Chain A
């Protein structure tokens, strides 16, 4: 590349659509990442995945920018002048695409760097080849802007760019909504492992080849004097696309054992284990979960350990007592929105779902699993689920279910009628919490025993005791 070409590239970059694309991409990416911060904060792999998820919006921005830049000659009536120049049109097309793509990349880069500030200080796992996912994202955006440049150059009209962007969004939405191989042909993706799984490097290279060939086809169509030359990259793209489209969809994700390896804190009896990728939460999670575990000290069949559900296979989710100790391991599903934007845990007093809530889910979980195993899930009286809810609230340390917390009501305010009276489960939970601690533990032990064999009669009797 000569010095003159660099200068022209700089001019194209500064004077073309690139600055607008950069700002639009950075702004959109920051907003979209911030909206789902709990899905990726503290995790490199999850951030890379989230970047690809938001390409559903960002790729259409790239298409629009490319189409606007590609259509510039038409809008400015330049073909009369440029048509008399000797440089092959492909060079100008490449320059338009290059400057737009760099603008788009830098916009995403800015957002990524902002996100890095929330990942780097917290991250406890950096493996999983997440950088390949990022590189595929960049190539997907390059292909999107190339398609835009091609469309803008071949189809005159000011509305072409926004229409192309909308079409890209629709195509992306349809593709990512699928769970088969077709979902991989667009830059965006719908499935997220949150850093717990990874894609095969060979497949990532295949995707890079697909996007590169797609971009080459679009650029040759846009800039070559002999458009028939586009057949070469088009055939290449088709060859690469076949194994992608005919292959599996979400099943491409393979669990990353290193990411799922357990990191534990605490002694047996109050042990908390998180996967390595989520271990950055340990400092906050351990004392809060240990406080919940300690409540089960004298409860027969109670919980002595809590494990990040991401480390467990589906059959390991069974909350059964250990054969030797007779004590249980609680499952903590922390893949949801348990994290704050800066990588902390949602505070205990948050009205939404907290790690205490998630811990509490184990209690109805015991009942559900046993009734499903016994084949009586649909036959048991509905009232036993309310008993499970009472146990859930006790385990999660919240006897106020269904009521307004006193702290939520300001001086002189009256709670609305819908919020005032506690429901039956809440009354029962408050009743349970009001009992002496030893009696609470006896009740919970009886619940666990009955729930683990789907004993509806005993459960109904337990519920009756709290009326």
Chain B
């Protein structure tokens, strides 16, 4: 399913439980990810964002084991090393509106403790890769929603992360930008592990080597986009209209099957 890497398993999650007061966001989730582009699908409230936040070292597991880039996240001393090799774009990300694109990306390169000498080139490269080179010196407050999203992606990839976590990265991008973005994901996914949480299953179908479907805080499907699409083909006839594309039908079929259990 995924190409072997010298790094070994990038993400290893065992029986992950995350609770917030009275609500359980993740309930015994298991997940293994290696290099490649991985899609994370699931309905609203399935636990996608919570999983991303746990892998992004922001949220703490209630129980279970989470190893990222070879380090147990329960080990506080290892967090710094993990974070240096992490890229993260949350669904709703904050920014300093008076910063220019270049300053914003440079600031995160600094926060990620990149070597000083490599920062200027890395910043230019990240901005170039998201197609904002001509707006690099514009202030963030002057950018459109799609451009802001791309600036967010640039900060996430500036350190060439070994694990890139993107929550709804294509929201606000126009079709052409989404095509470019898929190319970018595939390029990054050659060496790194990219986890993309999205509702846009066509992005997953085109860009991802593997897809995981989460529902009710658990992983209910794991396979390639083709395998997910195939799950739709085996659905009862009455459910054939549950999507416009094979992968949408597969997505719906898996979810309904899980709910029926």
Contact = CB atoms under 8 A, between A and B. Distances in A.
Nearest to B59: A83
A77 B119 CA distance: 25
A292 B149 CA distance: 80
Interface string A1-33: 011110110010001100000000000000000
Contacts of B86: 84, 86
Interface in B77-110: 79-84, 86, 88, 90, 92-99, 103, 106-110
A80 B106 contact: no
A268 interface: no
A84 B56 contact: yes
Contacts of A7: 106, 110, 119
A85 interface: yes
B103 A11 contact: yes
Contacts of B107: 8, 11
B95 A80 contact: no
Interface string B42-70: 00000000000000111000000000000
A82 interface: yes
A76 B81 CA distance: 26
Interface string B110-145: 111110110100000000000000000000000000
A418 interface: no
A433 interface: no
B83 A84 contact: yes
Given A4-B119, A8-B106, A81-B155, A76 B113 contact: no
B80 A86 contact: yes
A15 B100 CA distance: 9
B90 A80 contact: yes
Nearest to A82: B111
Nearest to A85: B111
B247 to A, nearest CB: 30
B231 to A, nearest CB: 33
A422 to B, nearest CB: 66
Given A15-B96, A77-B92, A84 B116 contact: no
Interface in A57-109: 72-73, 76-88, 92
Category for how many chain B residues contact A: 20 to 34
Contacts of B113: 85-87
A85 B158 CA distance: 12
Given A4-B116, A8-B106, A84-B86, A92 B111 contact: yes
Nearest to B56: A84
A292 B81 CA distance: 83
B93 A2 contact: no
A78 to B, nearest CB: 4
B54 to A, nearest CB: 11
Give chain A's interface secondary structure class: helix
A220 B98 CA distance: 27
B111 A86 contact: yes
Contact of B58 (A73, A77, A80, A92): A80
Contacts of A72: 96
A81 B94 contact: yes
Contacts of A76: 94-97
Contacts, number: 81
Contacts of B93: 77, 80-81
Given A76-B94, A77-B92, A78-B94, A84 B106 contact: no
A73 B93 CA distance: 11
Given A11-B106, A85-B111, A86-B112, A78 B96 contact: yes
Contacts of A11: 99, 103, 106-107
B110 A84 contact: no
A80 B156 CA distance: 12
B88 A15 contact: no
A152 to B, nearest CB: 15
Contacts of A84: 56-58, 83, 86, 88
Contacts of B116: 2-5
Nearest to B86: A84
A16 B99 CA distance: 9
Contacts of A77: 92-94
Contacts of B56: 83-84
Contacts of A83: 56-58
A73 B95 CA distance: 9
Given A15-B96, A77-B92, A80-B93, A87 B155 contact: no
Contacts of B82: 86
Q: Which among A76, A78, A86 has the greatest number of chain B C-beta atoms within 10 A?
A: A86
Given A11-B103, A86-B80, A86-B83, A4 B96 contact: no
B190 to A, nearest CB: 23
Contact of B110 (A5, A79, A80): A5
Nearest to B165: A84
A79 B119 CA distance: 22
Contacts of B80: 86, 88
A84 B164 CA distance: 11
A15 B92 contact: no
A85 B112 contact: yes
Given A83-B57, A84-B88, 16 more contacts: A4-B106, A5-B110, A8-B106, A11-B103, A77-B92, A77-B94, A80-B58, A80-B93, A81-B93, A81-B155, A83-B56, A84-B83, A85-B108, A86-B83, A86-B84, A87-B112
7 smallest CB-CB distances across A and B, nearest first, come from A77-B94, A86-B83, A2-B116, A85-B111, A4-B116, A78-B94, A15-B98
Interface of A: 2-5, 7-8, 11, 15-16, 72-73, 76-88, 92
25 contacts: A2-B116, A4-B109, A4-B110, A7-B106, A7-B119, A8-B106, A8-B107, A11-B107, A15-B96, A15-B99, A76-B96, A76-B97, A77-B93, A78-B96, A80-B90, A81-B90, A82-B111, A83-B57, A84-B57, A86-B83, A86-B86, A86-B113, A87-B110, A87-B111, A92-B111
